[in-house]
Amino acid sequence: MAEDPAPLILTAGATRLDLLPALGGTVARFATRLGDGWIDWLRPAPAGTRDPEATGCFPLVPFSNRVRRGRFRFAGHEVALPMDGQPGPHFEHGFGWRRPWRVVERADDRATIEYRHAADAWPFPFRARQSFALAAAMLAITVEIANVGTEAMPAGLGLHPYFPRTPSTRLEAVVGAMWAVDAEVMPVALVAPPPADRDPGRGLEVDRVDLDNAFARWSGAARIVWPERRAALTMTADDPLRFLVVYTPPGEPYFCAEPVSHCTDAFNLAGSGRHDTGMIVLPPGKAASAMVRLTTAIERS
């Protein structure tokens, strides 16, 4: 990781976006000035942080969530990812958030950053890009991954946003099924429909559930409401982001609603013969991309 994660600041009206390209291509802050203060739409990163997992959002490339024991087989490759520094027994969230990105384009209200990965324990070289476009009441983030190697590559992409959490925060999202998980948060069964108390389509009171699950057949739209703040945010995502990971750790001042292209451990599940994992196979020279829009609303008094 680069030594100096200096922020790149974009502005549009009263809204600002602080990016940390050198710190995993992360978002340090997305906030709107309201009177003498600010309303944060994502969890703000501590000043000077060197921890990408303490930021407001990080990219998920070339896959999201966990790969069982960091191992899988694909097209004759026996992939074994390095487990040093992993918080548990499984490899999490790909590489993009762990490596520095470089700025390739910027203006007052937009920027594009890039990360290139040479073949190593992950034997498939790729290029990833994030493009940010800021407006007074919207942030659009486009994530792209391109196969720059000579053979097909398994892939996935998405974003890992951390949203502020209040006692009455509510999440609404239409989904078709939920992956039930074991004690290691690995998928064991696809449950359709989700249990009523865990179905975001019915509206989840974030403080009343303990979730770390991938929801399948997501509509691509989610709404977060903060009654105490008189504010709301609508998240919409393009194909292929049709899975939504919801993480509500008890006692934390945040929760996550992650738009992603595949379920947890998709590579191994696909290798076992499943066809509903969302795993993407990118031929040489091909790319996959998706835009996520965060549209904000403040109730004016």
Residue with tokens 């995993």: 24
- In this structure, is residue 1 part of a structural domain? no
Q: Of 161, 162, 234, 248, whose CA–CA distance to 204 is shortest?
A: 248
In sequence order, the β-bridge partners of residue 247 are 212, 256
3 state SS for 229-276: HCEEEEEEECCCCCEEEEECCCCCCEEEEEEECCCCCHHHHHHCCCCC
- In this structure, is residue 92 part of a structural domain? yes
Structural domains counted in the chain: 1
Query: What pLDDT digit, counting tens, does each position of 275-296 carry?
Result: 999 999 999 999 999 999 999 9
Structural domain including 24 reads 8-298
- In this structure, is residue 223 part of a structural domain? yes
Q: What pLDDT does 4 receive? A: 53
What CATH number should be reported for the domain holding residue 214?
2.70.98.10
- In this structure, is residue 204 part of a structural domain? yes
* Secondary structure class of 13 (helix, strand, coil): coil
In 102-134, which positions are buried (b, 16+ CB within 10 angstroms) versus exposed (e)? eeeeeeebbbbbbbebeeeebebbbebbbbbbb
Q: What pLDDT does 192 receive? A: 93
Query: What pLDDT digit, counting tens, does each position of 213-232 carry?
Result: 999 999 999 999 999 999 99
- In this structure, is residue 150 part of a structural domain? yes
In sequence order, the β-bridge partners of residue 10 are 17
- In this structure, is residue 97 part of a structural domain? yes
Total Cβ atoms within 10 A of residue 26 = 27
Q: What pLDDT does 57 receive? A: 98
- In this structure, is residue 3 part of a structural domain? no
Q: What pLDDT does 301 receive? A: 59
Residue with tokens 């087989």: 73
- In this structure, is residue 2 part of a structural domain? no
Q: Give me the residues of the chain with pLDDT under 50, please.
A: 1-3
Q: What pLDDT does 3 receive? A: 45
The CA distance from 170 to 175, in Å, is 16
